[in-house]
Chain A
Amino acid sequence: MTDARRNRRPGPGAVLWGSVALFGVLFALLTYQLSIGADPSLSGSTATATGPVQVRKVIKRRIVTTVVPTPGKNSIVSGPASSSSYGAEPVTTSAS
């Protein structure tokens, strides 16, 4: 029985040619799929070489706070009395 099994094994040449033939078939199949745009590596995705392109942008959100002087009126900013002075000692408006 052992001898019979040994006798049913393919020879090295058959294995070699069989492998080459199988490679050729698979290669042809993949080439065909690529040629029709059905790339198997993108399987399951709707995006194809001819489909729409989605552009992703990185958006930085900036909030700019500006006190806008009204034309013809004082340019003014006001704040609490603890602010530091610019230049000389500030003047004071008071009843006189």
Chain B
Amino acid sequence: MSEHDITFDAMGSHVRLLIGEPGPEMAPAAEAAEMARRFIFDFDLALSRFKPRSELCAFNEDPRERVPASPLLRRAVKAGLEAAEHSGGLVDPTLLREIEGAGYQSSRAGMTGAPLDEALAEAPPRRAASPSPEQRWRGFEIDEEAGEIVRPPGLRFDTGGTGKGLAADLIAISLRGYSRFIVDCGGDIRIGGADALVHPYEVFVEHPQTGERAHVLRLGSGGVATSGLNVRIWRDADGRFAHHLLDPATGEPAWTGLVGATALGDTAVEAETLSKAALLSGPEGGRRLLADRGGLLVHDGGRIELVGPLAAAPRIRLPQIPTLEGAH
């Protein structure tokens, strides 16, 4: 059994593709990997808020209420709105002004984050984030027939919350028919293929504070994603620590008692949404959010907590044992 293994940098992260044997009349794995690589670069060119010539930037600057949009941008906006809906507004794609105000105006790719331990020591008292009462994201509508996105002029959209997961899911669609595959877009991962069900992939979960492998998952299908405070963290203009996961209610970085959350889902977008929502919800809310699909929470002190199916003991089946009385 062979797999084509390719790694490259895109979307401000490392991307890795592992593709198994092609089905009948399908392109070789190497060719599929190259097509996927080109797709990711195109995806990034169209949807990055750090590229002034991207379609997303043009859309955000457009003064019209109805803006013609490509199928890819419409799909990205749709994914962001679904994430907001499913998270009750916690994963809010309209916090661009706030995130820029916190100091995240340009790509932080390749930059070392500020020390998380110092940030935690200086951070305000922990509390769970909550949705913005304004729910600005509800102002977006997608008109598929007209190929347009409708929104109040000036309201900008950020695909950062779901972009990598969406890229992984879209590539997964093109890889259907390969014996097995894994698409890893900066830690937002999608797995598929019939053979993966038989021989699951191992996915390591990185501890956000130590950088060590905290846990290993063996996944045969679906998505897994991790959100954490350790990478995109910096000191703002006032010298305070800030990071990219904002409390929608306040527009400020959220300090919830969790420094990392890993979630499982049917898709990478679902997993990404759940992991962000879990981290923003804090320990109690995060536990509730991950209870169904399973996940892992990392507390401020570094403690790892397995949640849902990951925490449950394996099921044990006992065969029916005939008794002597029943043999008479």
Contact = CB atoms under 8 A, between A and B. Distances in A.
Contact of A72 (B3, B212, B266): B266
A56 B322 CA distance: 11
Nearest to B323: A59
Sorting the interface of chain B by its residue count into under 10, 10 to 19, 20 to 34 or 35 or more gives 35 or more
A96 interface: yes
A91 B189 contact: yes
A16 B97 CA distance: 129
A94 B266 contact: no
Interface in A20-51: none
A80 B266 contact: no
Contacts of A76: 200, 217-220, 222, 264, 294, 309-310
A54 to B, nearest CB: 7
Contacts of B218: 76-79, 83
B318 A91 contact: no
B221 interface: yes
Contacts of A88: 3, 5, 18
Nearest to B13: A96
Contacts of A54: 328
B13 to A, nearest CB: 4
Given A81-B216, A87-B199, A91-B201, A65 B228 contact: no
Contacts of A93: 184, 187-189, 203-206, 217, 224-226, 262
A54 B229 CA distance: 70
Interface string B194-208: 000101111111101
Contacts of B13: 96
A86 interface: yes
Contacts of A63: 316, 318
A95 interface: yes
A1 to B, nearest CB: 71
A94 to B, nearest CB: 4
Contacts of A92: 187, 203-206, 213
A70 B164 CA distance: 26
A83 B228 contact: no
A35 B3 CA distance: 81
Contact of B203 (A52, A66, A75, A90): A90
Nearest to B11: A96
A90 B208 CA distance: 18
Contact of B1 (A64, A81, A87): A87
B99 to A, nearest CB: 16
A72 to B, nearest CB: 7
Contacts of B14: 96
B323 to A, nearest CB: 9
B204 A91 contact: yes
B273 interface: no
A75 B220 contact: yes
B324 interface: yes
A61 interface: yes
A28 to B, nearest CB: 38
Contact of A86 (B201, B205, B223, B328): B201
Contacts of B309: 70, 73, 76
Contacts of B317: 64-66
A94 B206 contact: yes
Given A73-B264, A74-B219, A80-B215, 8 more contacts: A74-B221, A81-B214, A91-B201, A93-B224, A94-B205, A94-B228, A95-B260, A96-B13
